[in-house]
Amino acid sequence: MRGISAVPGYVVMQPTTLCNLDCAYCYLPFRALDQRMPVDVARAVAASVSPWAAANDRFSVVWHGGEPMAAGRAHLAALMAPFTGVEHHIQTNATLIDEDWCAFFTEHEVRVSVSVDGPAARNGARVNRGGAPAYTRILAGIEALRRHGIRFSALCVVSDPRPGLATELYGYFLDLGCDVLGINIEEQEGVNERPNSHPAANVQAFWAELVSAWRADPRIHVREIEWTLRYAGAVLDGTADEVLPRQLDPIPTIAADGRVFLLSPELAGFTDPRYGDFSAGNVLTTPLRQILAGAAESADWVPEYLAGVEACRSSCPYFGFCGGAHAANRYFEHGRFDGTQTNHCRNSKIRLLEGVLDHVRER
């Protein structure tokens, strides 16, 4: 894995900066503002995306926010219209989902992923702008999806990974009826300055317990478990060197104003005296394909980040599993991009892999 691919696997679109919730762990700096993406931005992105989509069996456009549904159905439809041959995905807090939105998802073949952190008591960080718990509205939105037979995925933020939690969470998501589950251990990034250092034994036990719970009833695709087993299987087969892609996926995030942020969506909206605004360009003035063709030099921080990836490669025994600490985690934890191991690495990569091995060892 060397360098950055000129062709992404998917693009992330920010139809609005606004979110109707005000979650305690959110990293987004402008979530109280409704800056909407002009349709011209979507047209510019689509001009580059269409050839990529035509050349690949599957190409995704991920509508992310803010809360993407806060842009409204009419505007979201207008933003989707320029794209052809792509899969549309939406990451939503689910609170705005109703009958009309379900019809919209069906009409536009939108694949839905909801953000929910488990049962009501585990959603304390998820509140509306008045500080009231959002869980009842989250669940109402998910129930609307279920009524309409719309399958969905779930992303769950875990702020305090520890023994005794994973079994409860997995059971909850089994009952919720999601097809796919991703677990994000809370990260210290963006405007979220809450510490994310946890006792190693607690995090490792959390992951080991999750494997046990999943193994007892593996109906759900659990992202972290599947990928860990994929890597472990490759190690056993002697093919571990083939797990990482040959080049980094640039994962371009297109902000509402057309600016492009590579590799880490969480960098959007921030500035730094050393790195400027972190953007690699703006699709309103430069085609996305041109920005990505020069990705390695597209922003001041990117060369430093690539040096950081090489530092991870040469120093970390988990590199083959991980591929290097993520850009935003490096920046928001270390203040720069060429450091190596982050708390995110420890929580979500190292302890994950070791937790899976613990599960196997203890069984």
Partner 1 sequence: MSANVDPVAERVHGVADGLTRLIGEARSARAARDEAAGSDGASAVCAWNHFENIPTFYNWNNRPR
Handedness of CA 126, 130, 133, 134 (dihedral sign): negative
Binding mask 124-153 for partner 1 (x = CB under 8 A): ---------------------------xxx
Rounded to a whole number of angstroms, the minimum distance from the CB of residue 124 to partner 1 is 18
Within residues 327-356, the interface with partner 1 by CB under 8 A covers: 348-349, 353-354
Rounded to a whole number of angstroms, the minimum distance from the CB of residue 273 to partner 1 is 26
Considering only 270, 321, 331, 337, the residue that binds partner 1 (CB under 8 A) is 321
Within residues 46-65, the interface with partner 1 by CB under 8 A covers: 57-58, 60, 62, 64
Instruction: Look up residue 289 and give its two tokens.
Output: 């394909």
Binding status of residue 91 toward partner 1 by CB under 8 A: yes
Which residues have C-beta within 8 Å of that of residue 249, sequence separation ≥ 6? Answer: 5, 8, 9
Rounded to a whole number of angstroms, the minimum distance from the CB of residue 342 to partner 1 is 12
Considering only 131, 149, 273, 317, the residue that binds partner 1 (CB under 8 A) is 317
| Shorter beta-carbon distance to partner 1: residue 40 or 226 | 226
* Residues 291/252, Cβ–Cβ less than 8 Å: yes
| Shorter beta-carbon distance to partner 1: residue 102 or 112 | 112
Binding status of residue 32 toward partner 1 by CB under 8 A: no
Considering only 83, 173, 318, 331, the residue that binds partner 1 (CB under 8 A) is 318
Binding status of residue 123 toward partner 1 by CB under 8 A: no
Which residues have C-beta within 8 Å of that of residue 103, sequence separation ≥ 6? Answer: 148
| Shorter beta-carbon distance to partner 1: residue 61 or 288 | 61
- CA 11 – CA 64 distance, rounded (Å): 10
Which residues have C-beta within 8 Å of that of residue 286, sequence separation ≥ 6? Answer: none
Stretch that binds partner 1, among 69-77, 161-169, 176-184, 280-288 (CB under 8 A): 176-184
Rounded to a whole number of angstroms, the minimum distance from the CB of residue 40 to partner 1 is 23
- CA 123 – CA 307 distance, rounded (Å): 38
Rounded to a whole number of angstroms, the minimum distance from the CB of residue 75 to partner 1 is 19
CA angle 128, 131, 133 (to 5 degrees): 65
* Residues 289/256, Cβ–Cβ less than 8 Å: no
Cα 353 to Cα 16, 105, 145, 218, 229: the distances in Å are 36, 36, 33, 18, 9
| Shorter beta-carbon distance to partner 1: residue 216 or 293 | 216
Phi and psi angles of residue 199, each rounded to the nearest 5 degrees, phi first: -60, 130
Determine how many CB atoms are found less than 10 A away from the CB of residue 107: 10
Strand 87-92 versus strand 60-63 pairing type:
parallel
Q: How many residues bind partner 1 (CB under 8 A)?
A: 68
Rounded to a whole number of angstroms, the minimum distance from the CB of residue 265 to partner 1 is 6
Stretch that binds partner 1, among 78-86, 180-188, 279-287, 289-297 (CB under 8 A): 180-188
Binding status of residue 191 toward partner 1 by CB under 8 A: no
Q: Following CA atoms 273, 297, 319, 189 in sequence, which dihedral angle do they give, to the nearest 10 degrees? A: 30
* Residues 190/28, Cβ–Cβ less than 8 Å: yes
Binding status of residue 104 toward partner 1 by CB under 8 A: no
Binding status of residue 263 toward partner 1 by CB under 8 A: yes
Of 6, 1, 13, 9, give the one whose Cα is nearest residue 253. 13
Binding status of residue 2 toward partner 1 by CB under 8 A: no
Whether the upstream peptide bond of residue 66 has omega within 30° of 0, thus cis, is yes
- Site residues, partner 1 (CB under 8 A): 9-10, 12, 57-58, 60, 62, 64, 87, 89, 91, 111-113, 115, 151-153, 155, 157, 179-180, 182, 184, 211, 215, 218-219, 221, 223-227, 229, 232-233, 235-236, 238, 240, 242-245, 248-249, 251, 253, 263-265, 317-321, 323, 326, 348-349, 353-354, 357, 359-361, 363
